[in-house]
Copies of this chain bind each other. A is one copy, B any other.
Amino acid sequence: MQMVNFNEEQIIANGAVIYNQRPKIEAIADSIWKNGFDLLLFTSSGGSQAMLDPFAFYIRHMSRLPVESVLSANLMTGDCNRIGPKTVAFLTSKSGNTAETVEAARWLKAQGVRLFAAVGQADSTLESICDDTVVYGAGRPQEMIFYLLIGRLLYHSGDFEAYPRFADELQGLARALAEVRKQADEKCRRYALDYCKEPYNIWIGSGDLWPTAYSYSMCVLEESQWIRTKSVSSPEFFHGTLELLEDDVCTTLLLTEGPTRAQDERVKSFAARHTQKLTCFDTKDYELPGISDEFRKLLSPVVMAAVLQRISKNMEQITGHSLDIRRYYRKESY
């Protein structure tokens, strides 16, 4: 059977949209490095924050650079006490007009914070506020912007010597992720067929894949398929949610190739004994042609996003519930 809603050429072309901006993105990183900084602050909302969070994670794990990741809504109410005269903030929003993110950008700007934004639409409010903006349009995956930007910063700080090779390989990332989609499709279609009507779905992940577990369940299954979920991180699963497991409780575990993999394996071993409906999606199962093994540990979020997209694409076809239907989101004011 042919893959539903899959256009390989388009995926590769969308990768080029971002990779082609590498010189611009690296120049921004160079300028940030040259000016110095007292804090690298990642702030956005919802799925956009979840996309950014792994980059704060990589900075923490690879360096001593000062870094914080704070939801824009919480930033505005005082949840970061490290903002200083040399702080640099990184924001992202597909529309460029997400209310809390725009408000946070204005508030940071008023304090003299340097602002970088990755935005889908040109000429958005966010772009008008920020010092540097990369407009990605149809470019995917958006994470590539931050692999280049943050990778280059970590290269300058001496924490990521292999960055130039890594960045060169990113030219082939979109193609590799198209291959991942092909490898994952059959399993994901089966998953969508089996579980699209489950009354409750536990989603589990850790480390650089915790934001993926959190946002895929909330921003895709809940928001665009109206499917009920509970997401919990792998270590926290053992402090409560484990008690819900029974043979018929649908449980989905994401396994990362990052430093928290053992946390996921612990869940896998436990859950396999206590539910018949356990599905594990493991980035390790997917070949990434053209990407060196040494860089795989940095790429779990984009590999997993490519896998999970095959659930979404199949599920909307199976349920007849388009991913674009909303009851309330951006349809009424609140």
Minimal Cβ-Cβ distance residue in B for A221: B240
Could you mark each residue 99-140 of chain A with 1 if its beta carbon is under 8 Å from any beta carbon of chain B, else 0?
010000000000000000000000000000000000000000
A222 touches B238 (CB 8 A): no
B243 touches A226 (CB 8 A): yes
A334 touches B266 (CB 8 A): yes
A269: interface (CB < 8 Å): yes
Q: Tell me whether A235 and B100 are in contact in the complex, defined as CB-CB below 8 angstroms, given that A57-B79, A78-B61, A328-B242 are known contacts.
A: yes
Q: Tell me whether A79 and B60 are in contact in the complex, defined as CB-CB below 8 angstroms, given that A199-B199, A274-B328 are known contacts.
A: yes
Minimal Cβ-Cβ distance residue in B for A214: B236
A71 touches B235 (CB 8 A): yes
Q: Tell me whether A222 and B240 are in contact in the complex, defined as CB-CB below 8 angstroms, given that A235-B73, A259-B78 are known contacts.
A: yes
What's the nearest-Cβ distance from chain B to residue A43, in Å? 12
A78→B263 CA distance, assembly (Å): 13
A230: interface (CB < 8 Å): yes
A223 touches B243 (CB 8 A): yes
What's the nearest-Cβ distance from chain B to residue A62, in Å? 8
A243→B66 CA distance, assembly (Å): 36
What's the nearest-Cβ distance from chain B to residue A223, in Å? 4
A1: interface (CB < 8 Å): no
What's the nearest-Cβ distance from chain B to residue A326, in Å? 6
What's the nearest-Cβ distance from chain B to residue A71, in Å? 6
With a cutoff of 8 Å between Cβ atoms, the chain B residues found around residue A326 in the complex are: 243
Q: Would you list 5 pairs from A and B whose C-beta atoms are within 8 A, ordered by A residue? A: A45-B236, A46-B240, A57-B79, A222-B240, A226-B243
Could you mark each residue 240-275 of chain A with 1 if its beta carbon is under 8 Å from any beta carbon of chain B, else 0?
111111000000000000011011001001100010
With a cutoff of 8 Å between Cβ atoms, the chain B residues found around residue A259 in the complex are: 77-78
Neighbour of A243 across the interface among B81, B235, B241, B328, CB < 8 A: B328
Q: Which of A46-61 contact B (CB under 8 A)?
A: 46-47, 57, 59-61
A266→B334 CA distance, assembly (Å): 7
A74: interface (CB < 8 Å): yes
A46→B199 CA distance, assembly (Å): 25
Q: Which of A156-179 contact B (CB under 8 A)?
A: none
A303: interface (CB < 8 Å): no
Q: Which of A171-217 contact B (CB under 8 A)?
A: 199-200, 207, 215
A269 touches B46 (CB 8 A): no
With a cutoff of 8 Å between Cβ atoms, the chain B residues found around residue A262 in the complex are: 77
A34: interface (CB < 8 Å): no
**Residue among A200, A240, A270 with the highest chain B CB neighbour number at 10 A:** A240
A296: interface (CB < 8 Å): no
Minimal Cβ-Cβ distance residue in B for A228: B200
Could you mark each residue 80-94 of chain A with 1 if its beta carbon is under 8 Å from any beta carbon of chain B, else 0?
111000000000000
A306: interface (CB < 8 Å): no
A285→B231 CA distance, assembly (Å): 31
B100 touches A243 (CB 8 A): no
A16: interface (CB < 8 Å): no
Q: Tell me whether A77 and B260 are in contact in the complex, defined as CB-CB below 8 angstroms, given that A228-B230, A228-B244 are known contacts.
A: yes
